[in-house]
Amino acid sequence: MKKRNDRFDAGRRALIGKGIQVAAMGSVAALGALAASPAGAQAKVSQATAMYQDKPNGTQRCDACMQFIPGKTPTSSGTCKLVEGVISPHGWCGLFVAKV
């Protein structure tokens, strides 16, 4: 005959086991999504999502950001590793990360 705590422990173990199965299924789905994208490819977000603006935010601007890919000249527009579209060197967005 099982004690009350034994039944509780068995139920708890079953729930923990289910939780691990669900977590594992989520990880497999995430790996599948990564595997489906070409190597090195990174999905970009829209300018609206990144809260992009074509003017600086104080001293922060795209040409001082790690993600900026410059245009042909220092003053011409470029692109961004994270944000879609044409990016002004004088622009800014919420994903700004200063160059080191």
Residue numbers at the binding site for ligand SF4 (CB under 6 A)? 50, 52, 62, 65, 67-68, 80, 82-83, 87, 91-93, 95-96
Residue 94 CB partners (closer than 8 Å, separation 6+) = 50, 51
Q: How far apart are CA 53 and CA 50, in angstroms?
A: 9
CB of 63 to ligand SF4, least distance (A): 8
Residue type (1 letter), 99: K
Taking the complex as a whole, the smallest distance from the CB of residue 85 to ligand SF4 amounts, in Å, to 9
At closest approach, how far in Å is the CB of 60 from ligand SF4?
Answer: 7
Q: Check residue 76 and report its DSSP letter.
A: S
Task: Tell me which DSSP letter residue 41 carries.
Answer: -
Name the CA dihedral angle for 60, 61, 67, 70, rounded to a multiple of 10 degrees: -150
Which residue number, 3 or 99, has a Cβ lying nearer to ligand SF4? 99
At closest approach, how far in Å is the CB of 96 from ligand SF4?
A: 4
Nearer to ligand SF4, 3 or 55 (CB): 55
